[in-house]
Amino acid sequence: MIIDELQVVSDLKIDGLLIYKLFNFFVRLTKETRLSHVFVVTSDSLFIEKVYNEAMLQGRVDYFLVDDFDKETSLKFLVSQGFTNDEAELVWSYFGGKPVYLVEALKHREELKEWCEGTLEDRTSWLVLSLNSMRRKNPELFRDVFTLLNEFIDREIVKCNEIDDAVFWAVKNNVLFFDPRKRFLRPQGRLELLAIRRALDEVG
C-alpha cells in the first residue's frame, strides 16, 4: 500500500488525532497481520520529523530519503537526451539533480540560459518579497529567518537540533529541507541555495 501526501490529514481530529489511528492501523497491517507493506510518501519534512520522533512508532517504522540525482547521473541523463556537455553543466549549475527541472530543461533547450536565469529570478523574487513583507509585519521572525538563511551564504548544510519558528517557516515554504534522522537543514535544491544567496544580498 502506497499513500502519498499523508500530511494533509496530520491535524485532522476524529475522536482524537486521525494520524495516530492511521499509523496504528498500518502497524497492524504490517507487523501483526502481515497482510501488507505500507509506504507513506511526503515532501513535508516537518511531517516526517513528527512521525519519525513519535514514541509509539519507535521500532515499528523506518525512514528513508528519496533524494535528488547526483551530478554524474544528472549529466548522463541530459547528455542522453541530446544536450551537449556544456548545456548539461549549465542546467546542473542552476538546478542540481532535481528531476522535475531536468525534465523541464528538455523543453527549453533553444533558450536554455534565459530559462535557467528566469527560473532563478522567479524564486529569488518570491523570497525577497516574502522577507520584506515579514520584516514589516513580524520583525522578530524576519530577524530569525534572515539569521538562519545567512548560514547558507558559505555552507550548504547546517546542523539543527530545534524546530523553532524560523526553521518552521523556511521548511513549510520549501526554502529549506529538514532531515529528522541526521538533524540537519539544507536548501530544498540548488535553485533555492542560489535564490537564498541572491535574496539576502538584496534584502540585507
Tell me what the mean pLDDT of segment 139-166 comes to.
96
**Full DSSP string of 143-193:** HHHHHHHHTTSS-S-EE-----HHHHHHHHTTSEEEETTTTEEEESSHHHH
Q: Is the dihedral of CA 149, 68, 3, 5 positive or negative?
A: positive
Contact 180, 189 (CB under 8 A): no
93-122 pLDDT per residue, tens = 999 999 999 999 999 999 999 999 999 999
- Structure confidence by residue, pLDDT tens digits, 18-72: 777 888 888 888 878 888 888 888 877 777 777 766 656 666 777 788 899 999 9
In sequence order, the 6+-apart residues with CB closer than 8 A to the CB of 69 are 77, 97, 98, 99, 102
Number of neighbours of residue 124 by Cβ within 10 angstroms: 21
CA–CA separation, 14 and 105 (whole Å):
44
Looking at residue 57, its pLDDT comes to 65
